[in-house]
Structure 1
Amino acid sequence: MYEVELKFPLPPGDAADAVLAALADRGAKFGEPVTQSDIYFNHPVRDFAETDEALRVRVVTGSDGVPHGRMTYKGPKVDATTKTREEFEPKLAAGAKEVDVLTEALKRLGFREVFTVTKSRRTAHVAQADSPSGAFRYEVTRDLVEGLGEYLEIEASAEEKTLDATRDALLAFAAELGLKKSERRSYLGLLLDGAAGATDGG
C-alpha cells in the first residue's frame, strides 16, 4: 500500500477558522488529542537522508495513559507534488516494554537513533461521495508539533493501480478547503533544517 499525503501549516486567525469550518461542513469531527512520540533511526550502512527513506518507532499515548507502539518504514517519495510513499507499519503489543525491546533490538543491529519528534494529534475522517474530488475517504489530522507549531495533514491510502486517481483526488480536496503550498518535508526534516539554520546563524 501507498500513503498519499499532503501537509500544510495551519494558517493563522480567520484563515484557519475558514479551513476548519470547511472540514466541519464535510462531516469532520476531530477526536480527543493523543500524544505521539516518533523515534527516528538511521540505517547502519546507508543514509536515509540521502535515500529519502524513513524508519521510526511511534509511541502513541491516549487519555488512558497506556503507550501503544508501531514501527513504520517509508520508502522514497514517488512524485514531486505530494508526499506519496510506500509504507509498511506493523503494530506492537500495548505497553512501554514492547517499545523498549524493539528500539534496543534496532540499536543492536546497528541502527542509530537520530531524533524524537513529539506532537499532540487530533484525528478526523471525511468520506466524500458527491464532490469534485470524487468518492474517497480521507484521514485529516491536526498536529501541534513541539518546536514547529500547528499543521494539518490530509492522507489517503492507495494501491499502485489507484495511485494517480487518489493523488488527484487529494489535491482537489485540499483545494476545496482553500489549502495551498503544501509542505513536502517531514516534521523531522523541518526540525533538523531549523536546527541546522540555528547552528549556521540563519
Structure 2
Amino acid sequence: MKYEVELKFRLERAQDVEAAVLALGACEHAPVSHCDRYFNHPSRDFRTTDEAFRIRSVDGSNAVTYKGPKIGTVAKTRHEIEVGFDHGPDSLQKLDEIVRMLGFRFVREVRKSRRTFTLDVSGRDFELALDDVPGLGPFLEIELIAEADGRDAAEKAVWELAGKLGLSVPETRSYLDLLIESDGLVS
C-alpha cells in the first residue's frame, strides 16, 4: 500500500522559495492548471471522517481520487488512490453526473495554478509544487510517496527538506477547508 507524505506551507515570498528549490538542483516541469471538484459521501461526512473524494482535471486530463484519513502526526500522511479516466470535458461531465446520481453531494471547486519540480535528495524522489490558489495565495507542497514500512523515514525526509528551504510552520488544512472557511461557511 502506498502513502502520500506531504507538508504544505503558505508562502510570503514565493520567488525566494522558488530560488531556493532551484538552488538545490530541482528540475522544473511545465506549469499546469488544476480544477478539483470535491464531493461528500451520501451516508457519511468526509469532514468528520477526514477523507476526501474528488474529480480532478489537469489541462484536460482527468482522474478520480480517494484520500483516506490522515494517519501521521508528523506530516500529512494518508492512503491515496487515483485512477485516470478518459481525457476531455465530456468524460469529466459524465463522471460528475454519475457521482451525483449515486448520491454524492458536490461541496466545492478548488482551482489552482501549479508549477511542479522534482528533486532527488539522497535517492529520494521529491515532488515539490508551487501552487497559486485564487483567494488564498501561494503555497509550496513537499511530497514523497512511501510504502507502509517507509512512512516514518519519508516524514523525516520531508521535514528535513522543508528545513533546508527555511520552512517550519506547515499549513495543516486542505485548500478545500481553507476556501470553505474563507467563504464563511465554517466558523
Q: How high is the TM-score relative to the length of structure 1?
A: 0.88
**Secondary structure of the corresponding residue to residue 83 of structure 2:** coil
Aligned to 2:91: 98
Matched with 1:4 is 5
* Root mean square deviation of aligned Cα: 1.4
Secondary structure of the corresponding residue to residue 4 of structure 1? strand
Q: Which runs of 5+ in 1 are unaligned?
A: 62-66, 130-134
For 1:72, the equivalent position in structure 2 comes to 65
1:129-166 Cα offsets, whole Å, 9 max, x none, are 2xxxxx31100001110110011101110010111111
2:163 partner letter:
A
Residue in 2 that maps onto 1:186:
174
**Amino acid in structure 2 at the alignment position of 1:5:** E
Q: CA deviation at 1:58?
A: 0.4
- Write the distance in 2 (CA, Å) between the matches of 1:120 and 1:20: 15
Counting matched residue pairs gives 186
Return closer, same or farther for 1:31/1:95 CA change in 2, 3 Å cut-off.
same
Identity of aligned residues (%): 45
Report the secondary structure of 1:91's partner residue.
strand
* Counterpart residue number, 1:127: 120
Is structure 2 residue 102 aligned with structure 1 residue 109?
yes
Q: Which residue of 1 aligns with 2:81?
A: 88
Aligned to 1:155: 143
Q: Which structure carries more strand by proportion?
A: 2
Counterpart position of 2:125: 137
Q: C-alpha deviations, 1:60-87, integer Å up to 9, x for none?
A: 11xxxxx111001000111223111100
Cα displacement (A) at 1:94: 1.1
Asked if 1:195 corresponds to 2:169, the answer is no
Counterpart-to-counterpart distance in 1, 2:111 and 2:124: 29
Q: Distance in 2 between matches of 1:9 and 1:125?
A: 19
Q: Secondary structure at the match of 1:152?
A: strand
Specify the SS of the correspondent of 1:196. coil
Deviations 1:105-141 (A, max 9, x none): 1101000110000011110100012xxxxx3110000
**TM-score normalised by structure 2 residue count:** 0.94
User: Which residue does the alignment assign to 2:156?
Assistant: 168
1:21 match: 19
For 2:97 and 2:40, the matched residues in 1 are separated by 14
Q: CA deviation at 1:20?
A: 2.2
SS of residue in 1 equivalent to 2:54: strand
